[in-house]
Amino acid sequence: MPLSRTLSLSGIAAALALCLALFLQHHESLLPYLSFNPLTPNSLTPNPPSDYSPDRIFNYPTEPPPPILGIHLDHSTSRIGIFQNRTLHLFPDSHNLTAIPAYVSFNEGTTPLVGSAAKEQAEKNSRDTVYDLISIIGRNFSDHRLQDDIKSLPYEIVERNNKPYIRVRGLWRDEFYTPEQVYSFIFQDLKRLAENNVNETVEYVVVTVPTYFDAERREAIKNAAAIAGLYVVRVLTESIATGEAYWSGYDDVGREDPRRWKEECNLVFYHHGEGESYAVVMEYDFGVYDVLAVVKESDIHPDGDSKTEKINTSDKTEESLPDVQNTGQKPLTALTELEDPVVNLLNALLKPAKIEKQTVEGIFITGNRTQVTLLEPKISAYFPDKQVISNPDIHPDEAIVRGASIIANVLAIGPDVCPGLMEMTVVSLGIETAHGAFAKILPRWSVIPNIKRILFSTVRDNQEKVVINIYEGDRAIARGNKFLGMFELANLPRRPKGELDIEVGVEVTPSWGVIVRAKELESGKEAKIVLDTQMHMYTGEELDLLGEEAEERKEEDLRWLENARMEIEHGGEATRFDVQLKD
Protein backbone atom coordinates (compact mmCIF):
# COMPACT_ATOMS: atom_id res chain seq x y z
CA MET A 1 0.00 0.00 0.00
CA PRO A 2 1.43 3.40 -0.94
CA LEU A 3 2.64 5.47 1.97
CA SER A 4 0.38 8.37 1.01
CA ARG A 5 -2.70 6.23 1.65
CA THR A 6 -1.63 5.47 5.21
CA LEU A 7 -1.51 9.17 6.18
CA SER A 8 -4.66 11.05 7.12
CA LEU A 9 -5.24 14.51 5.78
CA SER A 10 -4.56 15.93 9.26
CA GLY A 11 -1.28 14.03 9.40
CA ILE A 12 -0.20 15.43 6.05
CA ALA A 13 -1.11 18.95 7.19
CA ALA A 14 0.88 18.51 10.39
CA ALA A 15 3.91 17.26 8.47
CA LEU A 16 3.76 20.18 6.06
CA ALA A 17 3.46 22.62 8.97
CA LEU A 18 6.51 21.08 10.63
CA CYS A 19 8.52 21.33 7.43
CA LEU A 20 7.48 24.96 6.98
CA ALA A 21 8.42 25.78 10.57
CA LEU A 22 11.85 24.18 10.16
CA PHE A 23 12.35 26.05 6.90
CA LEU A 24 11.42 29.39 8.47
CA GLN A 25 13.84 28.84 11.32
CA HIS A 26 16.61 29.10 8.75
CA HIS A 27 14.95 31.87 6.71
CA GLU A 28 13.74 34.40 9.25
CA SER A 29 13.78 37.15 6.64
CA LEU A 30 10.59 35.66 5.20
CA LEU A 31 8.64 35.99 8.44
CA PRO A 32 7.31 39.51 7.88
CA TYR A 33 5.64 38.26 4.70
CA LEU A 34 4.09 35.17 6.25
CA SER A 35 2.24 36.42 9.32
CA PHE A 36 -1.16 34.78 9.80
CA ASN A 37 -2.14 37.05 12.68
CA PRO A 38 -4.18 40.00 11.38
CA LEU A 39 -3.52 41.93 14.61
CA THR A 40 0.26 41.88 14.87
CA PRO A 41 2.03 44.61 16.87
CA ASN A 42 3.10 46.44 13.72
CA SER A 43 -0.54 46.79 12.64
CA LEU A 44 -1.61 48.38 15.92
CA THR A 45 -1.09 52.09 15.35
CA PRO A 46 -3.30 55.00 16.45
CA ASN A 47 -6.44 55.13 14.32
CA PRO A 48 -8.75 57.90 15.54
CA PRO A 49 -11.87 58.77 13.53
CA SER A 50 -10.73 60.15 10.18
CA ASP A 51 -13.36 62.88 10.10
CA TYR A 52 -12.77 64.12 13.64
CA SER A 53 -12.95 67.82 14.30
CA PRO A 54 -14.28 69.80 17.26
CA ASP A 55 -16.83 71.38 14.95
CA ARG A 56 -18.23 67.97 14.08
CA ILE A 57 -18.83 67.14 17.73
CA PHE A 58 -20.00 70.44 19.08
CA ASN A 59 -21.65 72.25 16.16
CA TYR A 60 -24.40 70.29 14.44
CA PRO A 61 -27.35 72.54 13.57
CA THR A 62 -28.99 70.08 11.19
CA GLU A 63 -28.19 66.69 12.67
CA PRO A 64 -28.26 65.03 16.11
CA PRO A 65 -24.96 64.93 18.01
CA PRO A 66 -22.86 61.78 17.79
CA PRO A 67 -23.05 59.63 20.93
CA ILE A 68 -20.30 60.16 23.49
CA LEU A 69 -19.98 57.30 25.98
CA GLY A 70 -18.37 56.99 29.41
CA ILE A 71 -15.71 54.39 30.23
CA HIS A 72 -14.27 53.47 33.64
CA LEU A 73 -10.99 51.56 33.54
CA ASP A 74 -10.08 49.64 36.70
CA HIS A 75 -7.33 47.14 37.45
CA SER A 76 -9.21 43.98 36.50
CA THR A 77 -12.49 45.27 35.04
CA SER A 78 -13.88 47.91 32.71
CA ARG A 79 -17.32 49.46 32.38
CA ILE A 80 -18.90 51.36 29.51
CA GLY A 81 -22.22 53.17 29.50
CA ILE A 82 -24.33 56.05 28.25
CA PHE A 83 -26.49 58.47 30.23
CA GLN A 84 -29.84 59.03 28.54
CA ASN A 85 -33.25 60.09 29.79
CA ARG A 86 -31.89 60.62 33.30
CA THR A 87 -30.78 56.99 33.44
CA LEU A 88 -27.40 55.26 33.27
CA HIS A 89 -27.33 52.40 30.77
CA LEU A 90 -24.38 50.03 31.20
CA PHE A 91 -23.61 47.60 28.40
CA PRO A 92 -23.10 43.95 29.47
CA ASP A 93 -20.94 41.35 27.76
CA SER A 94 -22.10 37.93 26.59
CA HIS A 95 -21.96 36.70 30.21
CA ASN A 96 -24.31 39.53 31.21
CA LEU A 97 -21.52 41.23 33.17
CA THR A 98 -21.36 45.03 33.21
CA ALA A 99 -18.05 44.85 35.13
CA ILE A 100 -16.28 43.33 32.14
CA PRO A 101 -12.99 41.53 32.86
CA ALA A 102 -10.06 43.59 31.54
CA TYR A 103 -8.13 40.56 30.31
CA VAL A 104 -6.48 39.83 26.94
CA SER A 105 -5.25 36.33 26.10
CA PHE A 106 -2.90 35.55 23.19
CA ASN A 107 -2.93 32.10 21.63
CA GLU A 108 0.03 31.60 19.32
CA GLY A 109 -0.99 33.63 16.32
CA THR A 110 -4.77 33.46 16.56
CA THR A 111 -6.95 36.48 17.23
CA PRO A 112 -6.61 37.35 20.94
CA LEU A 113 -9.43 36.57 23.34
CA VAL A 114 -10.74 39.55 25.29
CA GLY A 115 -12.88 39.94 28.40
CA SER A 116 -14.61 37.00 30.06
CA ALA A 117 -13.33 34.55 27.45
CA ALA A 118 -9.74 35.58 28.20
CA LYS A 119 -10.21 35.39 31.97
CA GLU A 120 -11.79 31.93 31.81
CA GLN A 121 -8.64 30.38 30.39
CA ALA A 122 -6.16 32.59 32.25
CA GLU A 123 -5.08 29.80 34.60
CA LYS A 124 -4.09 27.39 31.83
CA ASN A 125 -2.57 30.14 29.68
CA SER A 126 -1.12 32.38 32.37
CA ARG A 127 2.06 33.23 30.46
CA ASP A 128 0.13 34.82 27.59
CA THR A 129 -2.87 36.26 29.44
CA VAL A 130 -2.45 39.95 30.21
CA TYR A 131 -4.32 41.90 32.91
CA ASP A 132 -3.76 44.82 35.31
CA LEU A 133 -2.66 47.01 32.40
CA ILE A 134 -3.64 50.13 34.36
CA SER A 135 -0.57 49.52 36.57
CA ILE A 136 1.80 49.32 33.60
CA ILE A 137 0.64 51.77 30.97
CA GLY A 138 2.53 55.03 30.51
CA ARG A 139 5.45 54.18 32.78
CA ASN A 140 9.17 53.81 32.18
CA PHE A 141 10.69 50.37 32.54
CA SER A 142 13.29 51.76 34.94
CA ASP A 143 10.57 52.90 37.37
CA HIS A 144 11.23 50.87 40.52
CA ARG A 145 7.49 50.78 41.25
CA LEU A 146 6.88 49.10 37.90
CA GLN A 147 9.61 46.59 38.72
CA ASP A 148 7.79 45.76 41.96
CA ASP A 149 4.54 45.24 40.04
CA ILE A 150 6.21 43.03 37.44
CA LYS A 151 7.18 40.55 40.16
CA SER A 152 3.51 39.78 40.84
CA LEU A 153 2.51 39.27 37.18
CA PRO A 154 2.70 35.84 35.49
CA TYR A 155 3.29 37.20 31.99
CA GLU A 156 6.65 38.48 30.79
CA ILE A 157 7.51 42.19 30.51
CA VAL A 158 10.76 43.20 28.84
CA GLU A 159 12.54 46.50 28.19
CA ARG A 160 12.86 48.34 24.90
CA ASN A 161 14.12 51.94 24.95
CA ASN A 162 13.21 52.13 28.64
CA LYS A 163 9.58 51.26 27.90
CA PRO A 164 7.79 48.08 29.01
CA TYR A 165 6.88 45.60 26.28
CA ILE A 166 4.77 42.50 26.83
CA ARG A 167 6.23 39.33 25.32
CA VAL A 168 3.75 36.69 24.11
CA ARG A 169 4.12 33.56 22.04
CA GLY A 170 3.29 34.03 18.37
CA LEU A 171 2.70 31.50 15.61
CA TRP A 172 6.33 31.47 14.44
CA ARG A 173 8.16 33.44 17.11
CA ASP A 174 7.53 35.61 20.13
CA GLU A 175 5.75 38.92 19.58
CA PHE A 176 6.11 42.13 21.56
CA TYR A 177 3.28 44.52 22.37
CA THR A 178 3.25 47.83 24.17
CA PRO A 179 0.70 48.20 26.98
CA GLU A 180 -1.17 50.67 24.76
CA GLN A 181 -1.45 48.06 22.01
CA VAL A 182 -2.79 45.42 24.38
CA TYR A 183 -5.20 47.91 25.96
CA SER A 184 -6.51 48.67 22.47
CA PHE A 185 -8.02 45.16 22.33
CA ILE A 186 -10.03 46.00 25.46
CA PHE A 187 -11.14 49.30 23.94
CA GLN A 188 -12.13 47.49 20.74
CA ASP A 189 -14.24 45.06 22.74
CA LEU A 190 -15.95 47.89 24.65
CA LYS A 191 -16.56 49.72 21.37
CA ARG A 192 -18.19 46.59 19.89
CA LEU A 193 -20.46 46.11 22.92
CA ALA A 194 -21.55 49.74 22.81
CA GLU A 195 -22.28 49.72 19.08
CA ASN A 196 -24.38 46.58 19.47
CA ASN A 197 -26.48 48.41 22.06
CA VAL A 198 -26.83 51.90 20.56
CA ASN A 199 -27.09 50.59 16.98
CA GLU A 200 -24.73 53.18 15.54
CA THR A 201 -21.02 53.79 15.22
CA VAL A 202 -19.31 54.84 18.44
CA GLU A 203 -16.26 57.07 18.01
CA TYR A 204 -16.10 59.40 21.01
CA VAL A 205 -15.65 58.58 24.68
CA VAL A 206 -14.91 60.10 28.07
CA VAL A 207 -12.46 57.90 29.98
CA THR A 208 -11.68 57.91 33.70
CA VAL A 209 -8.25 57.25 35.19
CA PRO A 210 -6.98 57.08 38.78
CA THR A 211 -6.51 60.56 40.22
CA TYR A 212 -2.79 59.90 40.77
CA PHE A 213 -2.16 59.43 37.01
CA ASP A 214 0.26 62.01 35.61
CA ALA A 215 -0.01 63.61 32.16
CA GLU A 216 2.14 60.98 30.45
CA ARG A 217 -0.01 58.12 31.69
CA ARG A 218 -3.21 59.92 30.69
CA GLU A 219 -1.79 60.44 27.21
CA ALA A 220 -0.98 56.72 26.97
CA ILE A 221 -4.64 55.92 27.68
CA LYS A 222 -5.67 58.26 24.85
CA ASN A 223 -3.25 56.50 22.48
CA ALA A 224 -4.61 53.08 23.40
CA ALA A 225 -8.14 54.25 22.61
CA ALA A 226 -7.00 55.83 19.34
CA ILE A 227 -5.56 52.49 18.19
CA ALA A 228 -9.07 51.07 18.63
CA GLY A 229 -10.61 53.90 16.62
CA LEU A 230 -11.92 55.84 19.63
CA TYR A 231 -11.30 59.52 20.27
CA VAL A 232 -11.01 60.44 23.95
CA VAL A 233 -12.85 63.74 24.23
CA ARG A 234 -12.03 64.07 27.93
CA VAL A 235 -9.91 62.25 30.49
CA LEU A 236 -11.57 62.52 33.90
CA THR A 237 -10.04 61.58 37.23
CA GLU A 238 -12.01 59.05 39.25
CA SER A 239 -12.52 61.56 42.06
CA ILE A 240 -14.04 64.21 39.79
CA ALA A 241 -16.18 61.62 37.98
CA THR A 242 -17.57 60.49 41.33
CA GLY A 243 -18.33 64.07 42.32
CA GLU A 244 -20.25 64.51 39.08
CA ALA A 245 -22.18 61.28 39.66
CA TYR A 246 -23.60 62.67 42.90
CA TRP A 247 -23.47 66.45 42.31
CA SER A 248 -23.95 66.86 38.57
CA GLY A 249 -26.64 69.51 39.00
CA TYR A 250 -27.46 69.87 35.29
CA ASP A 251 -31.09 70.16 34.24
CA ASP A 252 -30.40 68.54 30.88
CA VAL A 253 -29.19 65.35 32.55
CA GLY A 254 -31.86 65.33 35.19
CA ARG A 255 -29.90 66.55 38.20
CA GLU A 256 -30.80 69.73 40.08
CA ASP A 257 -28.79 69.36 43.27
CA PRO A 258 -28.24 72.83 44.79
CA ARG A 259 -24.91 71.62 46.21
CA ARG A 260 -23.54 71.93 42.67
CA TRP A 261 -23.17 75.66 43.33
CA LYS A 262 -21.55 75.45 46.74
CA GLU A 263 -18.79 77.95 47.37
CA GLU A 264 -15.29 76.90 48.49
CA CYS A 265 -15.90 73.63 50.29
CA ASN A 266 -13.52 70.71 50.89
CA LEU A 267 -14.48 67.23 49.71
CA VAL A 268 -12.83 63.86 50.38
CA PHE A 269 -12.91 60.97 47.92
CA TYR A 270 -12.09 57.47 49.25
CA HIS A 271 -11.73 54.67 46.70
CA HIS A 272 -11.49 51.08 47.92
CA GLY A 273 -9.89 49.81 44.74
CA GLU A 274 -9.28 46.43 43.19
CA GLY A 275 -5.55 46.87 43.76
CA GLU A 276 -5.33 49.11 46.81
CA SER A 277 -7.20 52.01 48.35
CA TYR A 278 -6.38 55.66 47.85
CA ALA A 279 -7.91 58.93 48.99
CA VAL A 280 -8.15 62.44 47.55
CA VAL A 281 -8.97 65.80 49.08
CA MET A 282 -10.41 68.41 46.71
CA GLU A 283 -11.46 72.00 47.02
CA TYR A 284 -14.79 72.55 45.31
CA ASP A 285 -15.99 75.99 44.23
CA PHE A 286 -19.03 76.62 42.02
CA GLY A 287 -18.62 73.45 39.97
CA VAL A 288 -14.81 73.57 39.73
CA TYR A 289 -12.70 70.85 41.36
CA ASP A 290 -9.16 71.55 42.57
CA VAL A 291 -7.21 68.46 43.70
CA LEU A 292 -5.13 69.35 46.76
CA ALA A 293 -3.58 66.00 47.67
CA VAL A 294 -3.67 62.30 46.79
CA VAL A 295 -2.47 59.53 49.10
CA LYS A 296 -2.42 55.77 48.52
CA GLU A 297 -1.95 52.91 50.93
CA SER A 298 1.56 52.31 49.63
CA ASP A 299 2.41 55.97 50.24
CA ILE A 300 2.16 55.60 54.00
CA HIS A 301 5.26 55.29 56.18
CA PRO A 302 4.96 53.09 59.27
CA ASP A 303 4.69 56.23 61.40
CA GLY A 304 1.61 57.31 59.48
CA ASP A 305 3.27 60.11 57.53
CA SER A 306 2.78 60.40 53.79
CA LYS A 307 5.48 60.37 51.14
CA THR A 308 3.39 62.64 48.91
CA GLU A 309 3.46 66.39 48.67
CA LYS A 310 0.82 69.01 48.01
CA ILE A 311 -0.69 68.64 44.56
CA ASN A 312 -0.59 71.63 42.22
CA THR A 313 -3.80 73.25 41.10
CA SER A 314 -3.67 71.87 37.56
CA ASP A 315 -5.09 68.54 38.84
CA LYS A 316 -1.91 66.59 38.13
CA THR A 317 -0.43 64.28 40.73
CA GLU A 318 3.27 64.05 41.50
CA GLU A 319 5.29 61.65 39.37
CA SER A 320 6.78 60.33 42.63
CA LEU A 321 3.54 58.62 43.59
CA PRO A 322 3.96 54.84 43.48
CA ASP A 323 1.49 52.73 41.60
CA VAL A 324 -0.51 49.74 42.76
CA GLN A 325 -0.30 46.00 42.33
CA ASN A 326 -3.15 43.82 41.21
CA THR A 327 -3.43 42.00 44.51
CA GLY A 328 -7.21 41.77 44.34
CA GLN A 329 -9.62 43.77 46.40
CA LYS A 330 -8.78 43.35 50.08
CA PRO A 331 -11.77 41.89 51.96
CA LEU A 332 -12.90 43.85 54.99
CA THR A 333 -14.38 41.09 57.08
CA ALA A 334 -14.53 43.00 60.36
CA LEU A 335 -14.55 46.64 61.30
CA THR A 336 -11.46 46.23 63.50
CA GLU A 337 -9.39 45.45 60.41
CA LEU A 338 -10.14 48.91 59.07
CA GLU A 339 -8.96 51.02 61.94
CA ASP A 340 -5.25 51.52 61.37
CA PRO A 341 -5.20 51.55 57.54
CA VAL A 342 -8.14 53.91 57.17
CA VAL A 343 -7.14 56.33 59.91
CA ASN A 344 -3.51 56.41 58.76
CA LEU A 345 -4.56 57.01 55.17
CA LEU A 346 -6.90 59.86 56.07
CA ASN A 347 -4.40 61.43 58.46
CA ALA A 348 -1.74 61.33 55.76
CA LEU A 349 -4.19 62.83 53.26
CA LEU A 350 -5.09 65.95 55.23
CA LYS A 351 -1.55 66.76 56.37
CA PRO A 352 -0.03 67.76 52.97
CA ALA A 353 -3.23 69.58 52.01
CA LYS A 354 -2.90 71.64 55.23
CA ILE A 355 -6.57 71.36 56.12
CA GLU A 356 -8.35 70.20 59.27
CA LYS A 357 -10.93 67.42 59.26
CA GLN A 358 -13.50 69.90 60.57
CA THR A 359 -13.31 71.80 57.27
CA VAL A 360 -14.38 68.76 55.21
CA GLU A 361 -18.02 69.12 54.19
CA GLY A 362 -18.64 65.95 52.20
CA ILE A 363 -17.19 62.48 51.64
CA PHE A 364 -17.56 60.20 48.60
CA ILE A 365 -16.79 56.46 48.89
CA THR A 366 -16.52 54.15 45.88
CA GLY A 367 -15.65 50.50 45.34
CA ASN A 368 -17.18 47.11 45.96
CA ARG A 369 -20.65 47.51 47.48
CA THR A 370 -20.05 45.16 50.41
CA GLN A 371 -16.72 46.74 51.26
CA VAL A 372 -18.15 50.25 51.07
CA THR A 373 -20.87 49.24 53.53
CA LEU A 374 -18.12 48.30 56.01
CA LEU A 375 -16.08 51.41 55.27
CA GLU A 376 -18.84 53.97 55.63
CA PRO A 377 -19.32 53.91 59.45
CA LYS A 378 -15.56 54.07 60.04
CA ILE A 379 -15.02 57.03 57.74
CA SER A 380 -18.11 58.74 59.15
CA ALA A 381 -16.63 58.38 62.64
CA TYR A 382 -13.38 59.96 61.46
CA PHE A 383 -15.30 62.99 60.15
CA PRO A 384 -17.90 63.57 62.89
CA ASP A 385 -21.04 65.43 61.87
CA LYS A 386 -19.97 65.30 58.21
CA GLN A 387 -22.02 63.77 55.45
CA VAL A 388 -21.06 60.65 53.53
CA ILE A 389 -22.71 61.55 50.25
CA SER A 390 -24.77 58.71 48.86
CA ASN A 391 -27.80 58.04 46.72
CA PRO A 392 -29.91 54.88 46.84
CA ASP A 393 -30.08 54.93 43.04
CA ILE A 394 -26.28 54.99 42.64
CA HIS A 395 -24.23 51.87 43.36
CA PRO A 396 -20.77 52.73 44.75
CA ASP A 397 -19.03 50.47 42.24
CA GLU A 398 -20.82 52.23 39.36
CA ALA A 399 -20.47 55.83 40.53
CA ILE A 400 -17.29 56.48 38.53
CA VAL A 401 -18.66 55.26 35.20
CA ARG A 402 -21.89 57.11 35.95
CA GLY A 403 -20.01 60.39 36.36
CA ALA A 404 -18.07 59.77 33.14
CA SER A 405 -21.31 59.03 31.26
CA ILE A 406 -23.02 62.16 32.63
CA ILE A 407 -20.15 64.35 31.47
CA ALA A 408 -20.10 62.55 28.11
CA ASN A 409 -23.79 63.40 27.70
CA VAL A 410 -23.16 67.03 28.64
CA LEU A 411 -20.26 67.26 26.17
CA ALA A 412 -22.52 65.97 23.41
CA ILE A 413 -24.58 69.11 23.99
CA GLY A 414 -21.61 71.48 24.04
CA PRO A 415 -18.33 72.09 25.89
CA ASP A 416 -19.43 75.36 27.49
CA VAL A 417 -22.18 73.67 29.53
CA CYS A 418 -19.71 72.55 32.21
CA PRO A 419 -16.60 74.72 31.97
CA GLY A 420 -15.39 73.66 35.41
CA LEU A 421 -14.56 70.23 33.98
CA MET A 422 -12.90 71.44 30.81
CA GLU A 423 -9.21 71.16 30.08
CA MET A 424 -7.65 74.55 29.42
CA THR A 425 -4.56 76.00 27.83
CA VAL A 426 -2.08 76.84 30.57
CA VAL A 427 -0.04 79.26 28.41
CA SER A 428 -0.99 81.51 25.50
CA LEU A 429 -0.53 80.58 21.84
CA GLY A 430 0.30 83.18 19.21
CA ILE A 431 2.65 84.38 16.51
CA GLU A 432 5.53 86.82 16.06
CA THR A 433 4.71 90.17 14.49
CA ALA A 434 6.76 93.13 13.25
CA HIS A 435 9.63 94.25 15.52
CA GLY A 436 9.49 90.97 17.44
CA ALA A 437 6.26 91.37 19.38
CA PHE A 438 4.25 88.35 20.50
CA ALA A 439 0.62 88.56 19.37
CA LYS A 440 -1.56 86.27 21.51
CA ILE A 441 -4.27 84.56 19.48
CA LEU A 442 -5.50 81.88 21.88
CA PRO A 443 -5.02 83.29 25.38
CA ARG A 444 -4.01 81.40 28.48
CA TRP A 445 -6.85 79.55 30.26
CA SER A 446 -8.85 79.04 27.06
CA VAL A 447 -11.17 76.02 27.23
CA ILE A 448 -10.23 73.30 24.74
CA PRO A 449 -11.17 72.25 22.13
CA ASN A 450 -11.10 75.83 20.89
CA ILE A 451 -10.23 78.04 17.95
CA LYS A 452 -9.54 81.76 17.74
CA ARG A 453 -8.79 83.96 14.69
CA ILE A 454 -7.20 87.42 14.35
CA LEU A 455 -6.62 89.61 11.29
CA PHE A 456 -3.08 90.58 10.32
CA SER A 457 -1.60 92.38 7.33
CA THR A 458 1.66 92.96 5.45
CA VAL A 459 4.42 95.36 6.53
CA ARG A 460 5.90 96.16 3.08
CA ASP A 461 4.52 97.28 -0.25
CA ASN A 462 4.02 94.41 -2.73
CA GLN A 463 4.96 91.83 -0.12
CA GLU A 464 4.77 88.44 -1.80
CA LYS A 465 4.64 86.19 1.24
CA VAL A 466 4.46 86.15 5.02
CA VAL A 467 6.30 83.88 7.41
CA ILE A 468 4.28 82.73 10.42
CA ASN A 469 6.38 81.90 13.49
CA ILE A 470 4.34 80.21 16.26
CA TYR A 471 5.16 80.44 19.96
CA GLU A 472 3.63 79.46 23.29
CA GLY A 473 4.10 81.54 26.41
CA ASP A 474 3.16 84.87 27.96
CA ARG A 475 6.20 87.12 27.44
CA ALA A 476 5.56 90.30 25.44
CA ILE A 477 8.43 89.57 23.06
CA ALA A 478 8.22 86.47 20.89
CA ARG A 479 11.79 85.33 21.43
CA GLY A 480 11.13 85.13 25.18
CA ASN A 481 8.59 82.34 24.60
CA LYS A 482 8.86 78.75 23.41
CA PHE A 483 9.15 78.38 19.63
CA LEU A 484 6.81 75.71 18.22
CA GLY A 485 7.24 75.97 14.46
CA MET A 486 6.85 78.08 11.35
CA PHE A 487 5.29 78.05 7.87
CA GLU A 488 4.84 80.38 4.89
CA LEU A 489 1.86 81.80 3.03
CA ALA A 490 3.20 82.64 -0.42
CA ASN A 491 2.10 84.07 -3.80
CA LEU A 492 0.13 86.89 -2.23
CA PRO A 493 -1.51 89.60 -4.37
CA ARG A 494 0.77 92.64 -4.70
CA ARG A 495 -0.77 95.42 -2.65
CA PRO A 496 0.43 98.42 -0.63
CA LYS A 497 1.45 97.51 2.89
CA GLY A 498 -1.44 97.11 5.31
CA GLU A 499 -4.10 96.54 2.65
CA LEU A 500 -4.19 92.74 2.58
CA ASP A 501 -6.33 90.92 5.15
CA ILE A 502 -4.53 87.81 6.44
CA GLU A 503 -6.57 85.79 8.90
CA VAL A 504 -4.51 83.65 11.27
CA GLY A 505 -6.33 81.04 13.35
CA VAL A 506 -5.04 78.86 16.17
CA GLU A 507 -6.97 75.69 17.00
CA VAL A 508 -6.28 73.30 19.88
CA THR A 509 -7.93 69.86 19.63
CA PRO A 510 -9.04 67.73 22.60
CA SER A 511 -5.80 65.71 22.29
CA TRP A 512 -3.70 68.91 22.53
CA GLY A 513 -2.86 69.03 18.84
CA VAL A 514 -2.30 72.57 17.57
CA ILE A 515 -3.41 73.58 14.06
CA VAL A 516 -2.39 77.03 12.84
CA ARG A 517 -3.93 78.33 9.59
CA ALA A 518 -3.22 81.52 7.65
CA LYS A 519 -5.59 82.67 4.90
CA GLU A 520 -5.37 85.70 2.62
CA LEU A 521 -9.01 86.70 2.28
CA GLU A 522 -8.91 88.38 -1.14
CA SER A 523 -7.38 85.49 -3.09
CA GLY A 524 -8.40 82.70 -0.73
CA LYS A 525 -4.83 81.37 -0.58
CA GLU A 526 -4.33 79.33 2.56
CA ALA A 527 -1.56 77.46 4.36
CA LYS A 528 -1.41 75.58 7.65
CA ILE A 529 0.83 73.64 10.00
CA VAL A 530 -0.01 70.92 12.54
CA LEU A 531 2.01 71.02 15.75
CA ASP A 532 2.19 69.00 18.95
CA THR A 533 2.23 71.24 22.00
CA GLN A 534 3.32 69.77 25.31
CA MET A 535 1.76 72.53 27.41
CA HIS A 536 -0.40 70.01 29.28
CA MET A 537 2.83 68.41 30.53
CA TYR A 538 3.90 71.51 32.47
CA THR A 539 4.04 71.02 36.22
CA GLY A 540 2.58 73.57 38.60
CA GLU A 541 6.09 74.66 39.58
CA GLU A 542 7.08 75.20 35.93
CA LEU A 543 3.96 77.28 35.32
CA ASP A 544 4.67 79.39 38.38
CA LEU A 545 8.22 80.05 37.13
CA LEU A 546 6.95 81.02 33.67
CA GLY A 547 4.41 83.41 35.19
CA GLU A 548 7.00 84.96 37.48
CA GLU A 549 9.44 85.46 34.61
CA ALA A 550 6.79 87.13 32.43
CA GLU A 551 5.88 89.50 35.23
CA GLU A 552 9.46 90.29 36.26
CA ARG A 553 10.56 91.04 32.69
CA LYS A 554 7.41 92.83 31.59
CA GLU A 555 8.90 96.34 31.77
CA GLU A 556 12.13 95.21 30.12
CA ASP A 557 10.19 93.56 27.27
CA LEU A 558 8.04 96.65 26.73
CA ARG A 559 11.12 98.89 26.56
CA TRP A 560 12.72 96.55 24.03
CA LEU A 561 9.60 96.57 21.86
CA GLU A 562 9.33 100.36 22.04
CA ASN A 563 12.94 100.73 20.92
CA ALA A 564 12.35 98.32 18.04
CA ARG A 565 9.23 100.23 16.99
CA MET A 566 11.02 103.61 17.08
CA GLU A 567 13.92 102.21 15.06
CA ILE A 568 11.52 101.21 12.30
CA GLU A 569 9.78 104.60 12.42
CA HIS A 570 13.12 106.41 12.05
CA GLY A 571 14.21 104.69 8.91
CA GLY A 572 14.70 101.09 9.88
CA GLU A 573 12.80 98.36 8.09
CA ALA A 574 10.69 95.53 9.34
CA THR A 575 11.82 92.05 8.52
CA ARG A 576 11.04 91.31 4.90
CA PHE A 577 8.27 88.81 5.53
CA ASP A 578 6.82 90.09 8.82
CA VAL A 579 3.14 90.56 9.59
CA GLN A 580 1.45 93.18 11.73
CA LEU A 581 -1.89 93.40 13.48
CA LYS A 582 -4.61 94.76 11.22
CA ASP A 583 -5.75 98.23 12.27
Q: What is the mean pLDDT of residues 37-62?
A: 45
Give tens-digit pLDDT for 303-349.
444 443 333 333 332 222 223 233 344 444 444 444 468 888 888 88
Closest CA to 324 of 189, 492, 133: 133
Strands 68-73 and 204-209: parallel
Question: In this predicted structure, which of 217-226, 267-276, 460-469, 516-525 has the lowest mean pLDDT?
Answer: 267-276
Q: What is the mean pLDDT of residues 9-14?
A: 53
State residue 63's pLDDT score. 57
- At how many degrees (to 10) do helices 179-198 and 215-227 cross? 60
60-64, 213-217, 283-287, 494-498, range with the lowest pLDDT: 60-64
pTM for the structure as a whole: 0.63
**pLDDT of amino acid 575:** 54
Q: How confident is the model at residue 155 (pLDDT cuts 50, 70, 90)?
A: very high
What share of the chain in percent tops pLDDT 70? 73
DSSP state at residue 300: B
Q: How many CB atoms lie within 10 A of CB 254?
A: 14
| Rounded mean pLDDT, 467-493 | 93
Q: Under a CB-based contact definition with an 8 Å cutoff, are residues 305 and 285 in contact?
A: no
> Residues 107-112: what's their mean pLDDT?
81
Any idea which of 207-211, 357-361, 550-554, 576-580 has the lowest mean pLDDT? 576-580
Q: What is the dihedral of CA 7, 9, 10, 15, to 10 degrees?
A: 60
Higher confidence at residue 64 or residue 137? Answer: 137
CB neighbour list of residue 283: distance below 8 Å, 6 or more residues apart: 264, 265, 266, 267, 289, 290, 292
pLDDT (0 to 100) of residue 195: 94
Distance CA 288, CA 290 (A): 7
Among the residue ranges 42-56, 347-361, 363-377, the one predicted with the least confidence is: 42-56
pLDDT for the residue numbered 133: 92
Round to whole Å and give the CA distance between 271 and 208. Answer: 13
In which band, very low, low, confident or very high, does the pLDDT at 519 lie, cut at 50, 70 and 90? very high
Q: How confident is the model at residue 235 (pLDDT cuts 50, 70, 90)?
A: confident
pLDDT on residue 318: 29
Pairing relationship of beta strands 265-272 and 360-367 according to DSSP bridges: parallel
User: H/E/C letters for each residue in 153-200?
Assistant: CCCEEEEECCEEEEEEECCCCEEEECHHHHHHHHHHHHHHHHHHHHCC
DSSP 321: -
**Calculated CA dihedral for residues 239, 329, 399, 183, nearest 10 degrees:** 80
Mean pLDDT of 288-304: 72
Cα separation, 551 vs 558, whole angstroms = 11
Average pLDDT of span 456-478: 91
H or E stretch including 366?
strand 360-367
Structural domains in the chain plus CATH codes: 54-232 (3.30.420.40), 255-404 (3.30.420.40), 428-581 (2.60.34.10)
Residue 34 has pLDDT above 50, yes or no: no
pLDDT digits (tens, 9 = 90+) for 435-448: 889 999 988 877 67
pLDDT at 416 over 50: no
